[in-house]
Structure 1
Amino acid sequence: MSLKKSHIILLLLLALVLGFAGAYMGVQLADQGGNSEESIEQGEETSPSSDQISGTELGKVEQAFSLIKDNYLEEVEDKQLVEGAIQGMLSTLEDPYSSYMDVDTMAQFNEQIESSFEGIGAEVSMVNNMVTIVAPIKDSPAEKAGLRPNDQVLSVDGESVEGLDLNEAVAKIRGEKGSEVVLEIQRPGASEAFDMTIVRDTIPLETVYNSIEEIDGKKTGVLEVTNFSEHTAQEFSEQLKTLEEEGIEGLVIDVRGNPGGLLTAVEEMLKEFVPEDMPYLQIEDRDGKKTPYFSELDEKKDYPISVVIDEGSASASEILAVAMKEMGYDIVGQKSFGKGTVQQAVPMGDGSSIKLTFYKWLSPDGESVHEKGIEPTVEVKQADYFYTNPIQIEDPLAYDQTDDKIENVQIMLDGLGYEPGRTDGYFSEETVSAVNNFQEDNELDVTGKVDEETAGLIEAQIVDKIRNGEDDKQLEKALEELYE
């Protein structure tokens, strides 16, 4: 092997180190180019240098590169080995949020942050080496199909995702508008995995929605934030101003199912609520140095506020929620996801990037929620039917049978206003009557048995009821708590 070829890996690894040096000296540069998941202004830092890596260690990498190039059974491209080396280094960090993004993945990442993209519309993460749904995006195919936070993806179109990194798994799930993808899902609490067919679509990133509710004669604003994207802070500010001009006397901020996004977005939003006498956020670097960040706000709002969270509220959502909690506002719902680190996408010069964890973020009081989540001040679960699983059956479910699937059907029927008599999985006479009534109301053959058609319609009506916001106990409680 020639000297030039044998030093390719050495030169590329040095370029990798130098790439980090440039990014570390000015973290905002990548953010201005739209490449940052989360960023915050930082002072100048000492950059890492190539002499931190001994010649012996780099020589070992070079030796492995040469060994594979010269002797492996099949021909291997230099690029394949270099990218594999980078991915290998990142995998040793055991950090699901640090990853290598090739040119194609980087383009998709920028689309998701900046405007819209095509796919199923769900934020995913690696949790215990499993591809896990953090949250489906509002009005996305994933939400309409019934994907939920903490669902684990076992396979995509029949191919296992075991052993893939997060970017590789996401690349399999995403695809062109109109195409179908079949995900095999393992849901916590479900005894068996099930398949979910989702039709991909364009996912617009409209991220803030507002409404006004009348509570005991008081106008109450509701701001739902579904993602922290490039324009979220501006949308939020404009819609908050509109609500205040309407004369609201209280406000609910709903970040359920919001997987996070740009740190700069949630910073700007918190500056609307957190007064200058307390930090809205602290950032901790690798050396344990904590830097607090403050607004220029004179005083807090003169109306009560509550925040609604759930297990799909992550990252920037948690930054907002914990800051409001430590200001004394109620947090309603269920414990949040627990992501307390800050990533920066560092350009590698060829269109690819490394997304690396640079910092921890802390609450105003200096507490970390990483892998712990935020406990609500008012814990509220939704109705049982919110947590049911898709019904997949081969043979009809019928009288006198006992099965977990029957329990699932009974909970759904109860949620739809039919009375199955019990919800323990035994197909009783009362359950037969409830199925008969459902079939009659929906112009199906009245058999008293749950066949594939009946099961599909029961499930579809439950999904519609959840998406339409009916019986939303968490939001109802958040509104109720405002004026107590």
Structure 2
Amino acid sequence: MGNRIRNTVTTVIVTAVAASGLTFAYTRNQYEKWDKLDAVYEHLSAQYVEPVDKTKLVDGALDGMMKALDDPYSVYMNQEESKSFGEVISSSFVGIGAEIEERDGRIVIVSPIKGAPAEKAGLKPNDRIIKLGDTSLIGMKSTEAVKLLRGEKGTKAELTIERPGETDPIQVTVIRDVIPIETVYSNLLDNGIGVIQISSVSETTGAEFAKQLTDLKAKGMKGLVLDLRQNPGGLLDQAVEIGEMLLPAGKTLLKVEDRNGRTQEYRARGSGKNPSIDGLPMVGLIDGGTASAGEILAGALQESAGAKLVGEKTFGKGTAQTIMNLKDGSTVKYTNAKWLTPDGTWIHKTGIAPDVEVALPEYAALPYVSPDKEWKQDSYATEVKSIQVMLAALGFDPGRKDGYFDGKTAEAVKSFQSAQGLQATGAVAGDTLRKMTELLAAQLKQNDPQLQAAVKLLAP
């Protein structure tokens, strides 16, 4: 047991060595730096006032090692965290395949995912899941329910459902399966301008982008708006695959610089089996949520494709990370390089500035307001300020936007509730907040100033 933590760290070292293709002979002297760590591990294991979980000690040591780097992108992930991270990267998870939320103490299905097990089993929007097997979901938060509804592929989720219009509960069996998550969306505007939104860059994003680009070209697309707003990034190889569909062969996509200052240049090789933009005009949409691989694409458009960028300055993440998978299923993710734009600029912590700066309405950047809480007269909070901004944007004057819920704000809430056929309580929670959010999302979609500016640049 005395060498467990040393062996765990050695696993990390050996993994890194194997990945680099180098071989070293380790001697006892190279381990001496871990004697202090071993001593504390042994002492706590034997002398702490209560029995200790030795796995937690090792996890804590590795977690502390990564935090000592003072790099938010270098982290240790235990087995559960590694599994969740893998789901994000693969853009899939195992579960029943339904979007859920908590409403008034009930877990409600917002929408089954098309073709997923929940839809095949006959689950419908507004179904309330009250039990999973013998476990009651009443009063449970949606985040807790998600953990229970996910599981191993092929396992059964025995659900008890309350359905509007039905007197008795319904028993539904759903077989869990892999649920793919779409990362690319597209539509063709009336003037022939295509819009492709990339929400993140995962293992399937390149293939998804190729399909959407092919579909838009078949419909006679005359120009492309590439929407990279709120794209937190992802996998470098997928960003390169997408870039090769957008840039002429030979053009630089990005450069990667290692710790010794050596630079590797990534050039477009041509789209190959994938479709190409074929010289159609392009514009990119960016904002403060565009980061990492999203910024790689934005930089390539701006500097190598001659495309304009519209919106707001990007986040500014100019580092690349690599993964070490440890034997027990845990993971170390650490920064191993910088990436540079085609012109050689390191955008870390500075971001990429748009060619045409256009801001979104105030309500588009509001912090999240939970529908699980109730906000009423005499409340004072940041969330109340957000509610007041939302009311004003929807045409209901709250009288103020400073976070104090006064009588004028309550009257504005009542007017909104009456207009939407809701009970006019003057308090904001649950259905009222969901309706406000829904209407604002639709309003922004219909009147998106950044998209409008991008389309204007492409209009003939």
In structure 1, what is the equivalent of residue 261 of structure 2? 288
Q: Does structure 1 conserve the Cα–Cα contact (< 8 Å) formed by 2:394 and 2:440?
A: no
For residues 314-356 of structure 1, what are the alpha-carbon distances to aligned partners after superposition, in whole Å with 9 as ceiling and x for unaligned?
2111111111111321111222222222111112223222112
C-alpha distance in 1 between matches for 2:66 and 2:380:
48
Letter in 2 for 1:319: I
Superposed, 1:19-418 pairs within 5 Å as 19-25=15-21, 50=26, 54-117=30-93, 175-177=147-149, 204-215=180-191, 219-297=192-270, 301-327=278-304, 328-389=306-367, 390=369, 395-396=376-377, 408-418=386-396
In structure 2, the residue corresponding to 1:373 is in which secondary structure?
Answer: coil
For residues 190-213 of structure 1, what are the alpha-carbon distances to aligned partners after superposition, in whole Å with 9 as ceiling and x for unaligned?
xxxxxxxxxxxx974111111001
1:14 matches 2:10:
yes
Q: TM-score, normalised by structure 2?
A: 0.72
Question: Which consecutive residues of structure 1, in runs of 5 or more, have no partner in the other structure?
Answer: 26-45, 122-138, 140-156, 158-170, 179-201
Letter in 2 for 1:471: N
Structure-2 change in CA distance of 1:176 and 1:55 (3 Å): closer
Q: Does structure 1 conserve the Cα–Cα contact (< 8 Å) formed by 2:374 and 2:427?
A: yes
C-alpha distance in 2 between matches for 1:286 and 1:59:
28
C-alpha distance in 1 between matches for 2:418 and 2:360:
28
In structure 1, what is the equivalent of residue 131 of structure 2? none
**Superposition RMSD in Å:** 3.8
Structure-2 change in CA distance of 1:369 and 1:10 (3 Å): same
C-alpha distance in 2 between matches for 1:309 and 1:251:
14
Structure-2 change in CA distance of 1:76 and 1:483 (3 Å): same
Structure-2 change in CA distance of 1:355 and 1:47 (3 Å): farther
For residues 33-56 of structure 1, what are the alpha-carbon distances to aligned partners after superposition, in whole Å with 9 as ceiling and x for unaligned?
xxxxxxxxxxxxx57774697454
Q: Does structure 2 conserve the Cα–Cα contact (< 8 Å) formed by 1:282 and 1:362?
A: yes
Structure-2 change in CA distance of 1:426 and 1:286 (3 Å): closer
C-alpha distance in 1 between matches for 2:37 and 2:381:
56
Q: Does structure 1 conserve the Cα–Cα contact (< 8 Å) formed by 2:249 and 2:267?
A: yes
In structure 2, the residue corresponding to 1:280 is in which secondary structure?
Answer: strand
> Following TM superposition, by how much is the alpha carbon of 1:378 offset from its aligned partner in structure 2, in angstroms?
1.5
1:463 matches 2:437:
yes
Question: Which consecutive residues of structure 2, in runs of 5 or more, have no partner in the other structure?
Answer: 99-112, 114-138, 151-177
> Following TM superposition, by how much is the alpha carbon of 1:467 offset from its aligned partner in structure 2, in angstroms?
3.3
C-alpha distance in 1 between matches for 2:54 and 2:315:
39
Q: How many residue pairs end up in the alignment?
A: 384
Q: Does structure 2 conserve the Cα–Cα contact (< 8 Å) formed by 1:99 and 1:354?
A: yes
Which 10-residue stretch deviates more, 287-296 or 94-103? 94-103
In structure 1, what is the equivalent of residue 102 of structure 2? none
> Following TM superposition, by how much is the alpha carbon of 1:408 offset from its aligned partner in structure 2, in angstroms?
3.9
In structure 2, what is the equivalent of residue 131 of structure 1? none
> Following TM superposition, by how much is the alpha carbon of 1:411 offset from its aligned partner in structure 2, in angstroms?
2.6
> Following TM superposition, by how much is the alpha carbon of 1:7 offset from its aligned partner in structure 2, in angstroms?
3.4
> Following TM superposition, by how much is the alpha carbon of 1:406 offset from its aligned partner in structure 2, in angstroms?
6.3
> Following TM superposition, by how much is the alpha carbon of 1:75 offset from its aligned partner in structure 2, in angstroms?
2.5
In structure 1, the residue corresponding to 2:195 is in which secondary structure?
Answer: strand
Q: Does structure 2 conserve the Cα–Cα contact (< 8 Å) formed by 1:396 and 1:452?
A: no
In structure 1, what is the equivalent of residue 418 of structure 2? 440
Letter in 1 for 2:2: S
C-alpha distance in 2 between matches for 1:61 and 1:432:
59
Q: TM-score, normalised by structure 1?
A: 0.69
For residues 193-248 of structure 1, what are the alpha-carbon distances to aligned partners after superposition, in whole Å with 9 as ceiling and x for unaligned?
xxxxxxxxx97411111100123xxx111111112111110111121122112221
Letter in 2 for 1:17: I
C-alpha distance in 2 between matches for 1:429 and 1:80:
52
C-alpha distance in 2 between matches for 1:62 and 1:404:
47
Letter in 1 for 2:148: E
Structure-2 change in CA distance of 1:172 and 1:93 (3 Å): farther
Q: Does structure 2 conserve the Cα–Cα contact (< 8 Å) formed by 1:415 and 1:462?
A: no
Q: Does structure 2 conserve the Cα–Cα contact (< 8 Å) formed by 1:279 and 1:293?
A: yes
> Following TM superposition, by how much is the alpha carbon of 1:77 offset from its aligned partner in structure 2, in angstroms?
4.2
Q: Does structure 2 conserve the Cα–Cα contact (< 8 Å) formed by 1:347 and 1:353?
A: yes
Structure-2 change in CA distance of 1:458 and 1:386 (3 Å): farther
Structure-2 change in CA distance of 1:366 and 1:300 (3 Å): farther
Runs of 4+ in 1 over 6 A off after TM superposition: 118-121, 171-174, 401-406, 424-433
